[in-house]
């Protein structure tokens, strides 16, 4: 029997149709979030893995609805999805495979219901996204969209009764991770008219949107990219306190994810202004070492470093 099938058994996913629903989400998550999925599969206890997969699939589906296509179509698609999820949460049943996995996961982790409802209430911040005038706009976006999306997953790994410290640590991590995503994805985002670096910051470094759109690898662009990546790294390093606040083995996964993000930041910094031609990825060998080191910690019962 495969590790995944054992995980479904351990998570109480017994019905054949529901197992198929979870498996469909697993394949999706493994395809678009390969490194985090591998980390979860290596590091999470079997009873937790399917639920993390379901929450990740929920976040990914929401991202796709809010990001893809003309605004009117995105708004309509999101409104229909939000209504369908809320109706299912109330009735406890759904015809949608993804929502069925979500319902089972909410049953296993009742605290997730409130998290899902909060995410649904604020996720339209992504629909309204049109760039940031200043740093305050970026921080508001993190609070309204990035953090609630991440908490969908993190709530399954954190303490059942959070005194606020775990959520604050998640916020620190997400602030750095989202900033890194925006600068690392410049080559993809700028042609779509989607720029995650505040106008105020562009002006500070005397860089224009046209400079970025035309791929000008000027000293000013290099300085801008370096500034954004270093800001992201500071938050990610500060988030190293987060794993110790997680619940049991979940902290080892959080620790690994932070280290992979820092490896990505290193790769992006080395690429510099060439990010205008394509994003950077963490070196596979170093990523594998980070995962294997985390796996040894998990098996040895070591607490993640503070």
3-state secondary structure of 230: helix
Q: pLDDT value at position 1?
A: 64
Domains 1-123 and 129-306 share a fold: yes
Q: Which CATH number fits domain 1-123: 1.10.600.10, 3.20.20.140, 1.20.1250.20, 1.50.10.20?
A: 1.10.600.10
Q: Are 186 and 212 in contact (CB under 8 A)?
A: yes
Q: Are 132 and 196 in contact (CB under 8 A)?
A: yes
Residue 105: CB atoms within 10 A of its CB come to 25
Each residue's pLDDT tens digit in the chain (306 positions)? 688 999 999 999 999 999 999 999 999 999 987 878 888 998 999 999 999 999 999 999 999 999 888 889 999 999 999 999 999 999 999 999 999 999 999 999 999 999 999 999 999 999 888 899 999 999 999 999 999 999 999 999 999 888 899 999 999 999 999 999 999 999 999 998 889 999 999 999 999 999 999 999 999 999 999 999 999 999 999 999 999 998 777 899 999 999 999 999 999 999 999 999 999 999 999 988 888 888 887 776 544 444
Q: pLDDT value at position 293?
A: 85
CATH number of 129-306: 1.10.600.10
> In the numeric block, which tokens belong to residue 40?
């979860």
CA dihedral 188, 194, 197, 199 (to 10 degrees): 140
Domains of the chain by residue range:
1-123, 129-306
Cα 6 from chain centre: 26
DSSP 11: T
State the chain's maximal CA–CA distance in angstroms.
Answer: 59
């Amino acid at each position: 029997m495969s590790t995944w099938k054992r995980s479904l058994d351990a998570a109480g996913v017994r019905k054949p149709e529901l197992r198929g629903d979870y498996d469909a989400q697993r394949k999706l998550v493994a395809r678009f979030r390969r490194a985090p999925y591998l980390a979860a599969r290596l590091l999470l206890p079997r009873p937790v893995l399917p639920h993390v997969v379901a929450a990740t699939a929920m976040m990914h589906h929401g991202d796709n609805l809010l990001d893809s296509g003309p605004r009117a179509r995105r708004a309509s698609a999101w409104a229909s999805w939000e209504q369908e999820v809320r109706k299912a949460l109330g009735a406890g049943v759904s015809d949608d495979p993804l929502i069925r996995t979500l319902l089972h996961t909410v049953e296993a982790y009742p605290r997730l219901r409130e998290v899902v409802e909060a995410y649904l209430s604020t996720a339209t911040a992504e629909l309204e996204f049109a760039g940031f005038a200043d740093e305050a706009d970026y921080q508001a976006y993190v609070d309204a969209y990035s953090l609630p999306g991440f908490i969908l997953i993190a709530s399954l790994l954190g303490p059942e009764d959070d005194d606020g410290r775990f959520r604050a640590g998640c916020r620190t991590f997400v602030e750095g991770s989202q900033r890194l995503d925006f600068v690392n994805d410049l080559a993809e985002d700028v042609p779509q008219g989607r720029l995650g670096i505040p106008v105020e910051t562009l002006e500070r470094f005397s860089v224009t949107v046209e400079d970025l759109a035309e791929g000008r690898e000027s000293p000013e662009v290099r300085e801008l990219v370096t500034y954004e990546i270093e800001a992201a790294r500071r938050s990610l390093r500060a988030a190293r306190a987060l794993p110790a606040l997680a619940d049991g083995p979940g902290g080892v996964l959080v620790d690994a994810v932070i280290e992979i993000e820092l490896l990505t930041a290193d790769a992006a910094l080395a690429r510099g202004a060439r990010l205008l031609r394509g994003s950077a990825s963490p070196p596979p060998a170093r990523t594998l070492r980070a995962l294997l080191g985390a796996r040894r910690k998990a098996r040895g019962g070591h607490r993640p470093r503070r």
